[in-house]
Amino acid sequence: MKKIVTILSLALFAFTAKGQVVQDTATMGAFYANQVYYSLENGEVATVNNNDWDLAFAMSGQGSAGSAILLNEGSTILWSHPGDTADWTTFDTTGYASWERLLNSDTSWTNGAFNTHRGAAGFLDMGWGVLNPANNYWTLGDSLYLAKLKDNTFRKLWIVSLKTGVWEYKYANLDGSNEQTFTIDKSAYTNKNFVYHSMVSNTIMDREPDNTTWDMMFGKHVDFVNPPGMYVNVTGVFNNRNVWSAKANLADSTAAATATQAQTSLNNNVTNIGREWKKFTTGSWNVYDTIAYFVYDNDSTNFYRVVFTDFESGFSGLGRAFFNSELLHTVGIEGIEKSMNLSMYPNPATDKVTLLLDCPENDVMNIELVNLSGQIVHREQLNLSAGINQKTIDVNHLQSGIYLLSLVNNDFKSTQKLIIK
């Protein structure tokens, strides 16, 4: 663990050649007012104000992921109303301090504060409403919420529905005045994880960079920390939806800076890096520069080692995280588009994985299974017929972890992640 005495002035590099250690920073600003979106390949992608929104609605993701609604925990407090939508006009806040306070999940973008009780009424329960397959697969809201905004005013809130890719929600003052109703059409926001809304300014905001361009987001959120046994503002790193990571605790900073193997299993927990690389003790920040994080980037092509080296408080400085990153290896996934579908099950797999290949014509393809060190651990040739083809592969001899399964020939490559338990 490195005790911070002064803030170092670091030289910044704008390239990420393999084997080149890149020293960089992410500056969240005074009081951590900003979110910083960062690409391990290209550096900082965007810095946006983190205090101008209250709600975030999922624009991408299938099934449950597409029904996610996040709360800006840094500026807004959310409680679950004990009644249901029948109480909208008679919304009563008596005893609200004892109502359940809701926070976003610490592990997944799929479960925002509004999805806290997802599954309570069965797998079609999205938390804020229930999906109905018999009614066009619409999700109709069945819950009410109380929100305290950054200007210390209160709103009652109802997520009305998600119908055919269109969100509808409304809110009003507690006495029912100034009722506002908004809709957001997902089809208008391609390559965005979320679109945001401010109940203070009554504004929909497209404030997030393209979700194919960033790997990590540095920002502030609220967590229940024990001790001291209370909700506190914390800062940390959130991984993008498709980013997988793992970590290793080493003996010293030199070992961390040269490590090539993780000690934990790779997973896509969004706070796998999180905030635990630093700790505030005895009046100063301490950074654990003995932890190496291994990050598999957003488009599944590059594998990096990241080590945090310093941290500057946002209460006395610029709220900066200092870190080193190094590209360990590259596994190419790019290929020429072709009308062929590859699916596999189960995933995760234990003993066998079955492939379903929808081929437009007779063809000869190679199957390649590659580990994260770039080694081909399985390869075979397939003679495919036009239509659906099925192939089963034994994987019980392989170690647990993440692999890339590719379907390849001279003019085509389709690759998907395969998890082996």
Map out the domains of the chain as residue ranges: 2-50+211-330, 55-205, 341-420
Low-confidence ranges of the chain (pLDDT < 50): 2-16, 332-339
Lookup: tokens for 110: 């799929």
Report the C-alpha gap between 28 and 37 in whole angstroms.
10
State which H helix or E strand residue 257 sits in.
helix 253-258
Only one residue has tokens 């390869």, namely 379
* Residue 251 CB coordination number (10 Å): 8
pLDDT at 410: 66
pTM of the complete model: 0.77
The reported pLDDT for the residue numbered 11 is 29
Please state which CATH number belongs to domain 341-420.
2.60.40.3080
Say how far apart CA 44 and CA 37 lie, in whole Å: 6
Q: Where are the beta strands (DSSP E) in 174-268?
A: 180-185, 194-198, 203-205, 216-225, 230-239, 244-249
pLDDT confidence of residue 41: 94
pLDDT value of residue 365 = 86
Please, which residues have CB within 8 angstroms of residue 104's CB and are 6 or more apart in sequence? 70, 71, 73, 111, 112, 113, 221
Q: How far apart are CA 272 and CA 279, in angstroms?
A: 16
Beta bridge partners of 246: 294
Report the candidate in 41, 1, 5 with the shortest Cα–Cα distance to residue 328. Answer: 41
Closest CA to 395 of 359, 370, 365: 370
Q: Whole-angstrom Cα distance, residue 45 to residue 191?
A: 15
How much is the pLDDT for 181?
98
Beta bridge partners of 409: 412
Q: Which residues pair with 384 in a beta bridge?
A: 363
Count helices and strands in the chain by DSSP H and E runs: 1, 30
Report cis status (omega within 30 of 0) of the bond before 82: no
Among 43, 12, 58, 52, CA closest to 218: 43
CA dihedral 357, 361, 366, 369 (to 10 degrees): -20
Which of 198, 295, 205, 308 has the alpha carbon at shortest distance from 245?
A: 295
Q: If 0-12 CB within 10 Å is exposed, 13-18 middle and 19+ buried, where does residue 58 land?
A: buried
Q: How far apart are CA 128 and CA 124, in angstroms?
A: 11
Q: Which of 349, 366, 358, 354 has the alpha carbon at shortest distance from 400?
A: 349
**Residue 226 pLDDT:** 73
In sequence order, what are the residues at sequence separation of 6 or more whose Cβ sits closer than 8 angstroms to the Cβ of residue 145? 78, 79, 80, 81, 102, 114, 156, 157, 158, 159
Query: Could you tell me which residues come within 8 angstroms of residue 86 by beta carbon, excluding any fewer than 6 positions away?
Result: none
User: Judging by beta carbons within 10 Å of its beta carbon (0-12, 13-18, 19+), is residue 399 exposed, middle or buried?
Assistant: exposed
CB hemisphere CA count around 136 (13 angstroms): 9
